[in-house]
């Protein structure tokens, strides 16, 4: 029995190590996502920072936040924004966006459509960033996880 158990464990370890060594490269997927030979691509990372304008009226602030969230959803549906979210530590650094674009100029034009940026309550700091091309699949996976849409 001990020999049998040992053989089972050796087989499991061998299969596990062997499966990790084999490539599962999908050329069609890599091309569709714009991946280079490392499975990576260029994006633009945006750091959302507190702007110079503070809105004191809570109804106006809530309305602006709702418009900001709807803009995020629109950019995501257009395939231009693949990751977005707030920081939770209540500092002047409010959140991040990862734009699915290859230039800071294009990302700057997209940030100019954000109602919170237009109102001056948020500012964007943009940087070219190199990351996994798989991030472009994030939205499709997220749709399978959310019970309720944040913008509704």
> Higher-confidence residue: 63 or 150?
63
Confidence of residue 146 (pLDDT cuts 50, 70, 90): confident
User: 147 falls in which pLDDT band (50, 70, 90)?
Assistant: confident
Distance CA(38)–CA(33), nearest Å, equals: 12
| 12-40: pLDDT as tens digits | 665 666 555 556 999 999 999 999 999 99
* Average pLDDT over the chain, rounded to an integer: 88
Q: Please return the burial class of 5, using the count of CB atoms within 10 Å of its CB with bins 0-12, 13-18 and 19+.
A: exposed
Confidence of residue 91 (pLDDT cuts 50, 70, 90): very high
Residue 88, CA distances (Å) to 32, 34, 92, 94, 96 in order: 34, 32, 11, 8, 11
Q: Please, what are the domains in the chain?
A: 36-145 (3.30.70.1060)
Residues in a beta bridge with 98: 45, 83
């Amino acid at each position: 029995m001990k020999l049998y158990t040992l053989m089972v464990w050796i087989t499991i370890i061998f299969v596990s190590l062997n499966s990790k060594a084999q490539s599962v490269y999908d050329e069609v997927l890599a091309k569709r996502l714009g991946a280079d030979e490392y499975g990576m691509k260029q994006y633009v990372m945006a750091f959302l920072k507190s702007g110079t304008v503070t809105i004191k009226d809570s109804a106006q602030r809530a309305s602006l936040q709702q418009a900001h969230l709807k803009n995020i959803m629109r950019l995501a549906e257009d395939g231009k924004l693949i990751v977005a979210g707030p920081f939770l530590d209540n500092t002047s650094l409010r959140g991040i966006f990862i734009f699915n674009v290859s230039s800071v100029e294009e990302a700057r034009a997209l940030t100019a459509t954000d109602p919170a940026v237009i109102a001056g309550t948020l500012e964007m700091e943009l940087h070219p960033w190199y990351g996994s091309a798989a991030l472009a699949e994030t939205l499709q996976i997220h749709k399978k996880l959310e019970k309720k849409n944040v913008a509704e």
